[in-house]
Amino acid sequence: MRQGARHTDAHRAVIRARMRDARAQGRPPGRRPAPPEVGRYITAARAEGASWRQIADGLNQLLADTGAPAPPQGAPCWVTSTVRSIYLRVAAQHEGA
């Protein structure tokens, strides 16, 4: 067996354990969803022409000033990839509605 295959098996075991623990605690596995007001903020800012960086910076400022919702992945600050991901998820939900 190659070393990479052993590493992959160990990684899968860790992921299975995390999912089992999450279910045992009554919460779904994976990232927690962003609050709806964050999706609305991102969508509105994007409609006004703001860049992903500007939106992330705005959310970080709100977080510092008012204690607005933290990023769903538990990071200390909002980043452009998370902002874009939430925007695309919200857009897809509106298309399917």
C-alpha–C-alpha distance, residues 54 and 77, integer Å: 13
Residue 26 shares a structural domain with residue 45:
no
pLDDT at 12: 86
Domain that holds residue 5: 1-30
Provide mean pLDDT across the span 74-90: 90
Number of domains composing the chain: 2
C-alpha–C-alpha distance, residues 12 and 5, integer Å: 11
More confident residue, 24 or 4: 24
Please tell me the number of Cα atoms within 13 Å of 34 on its side-chain side.
24
Residue 53 shares a structural domain with residue 82:
yes
For 97, which DSSP code?
Answer: -
pLDDT at 1: 47
Residue 43 shares a structural domain with residue 75:
yes
Query: pTM for the full model?
Result: 0.67
Residue 25 shares a structural domain with residue 49:
no
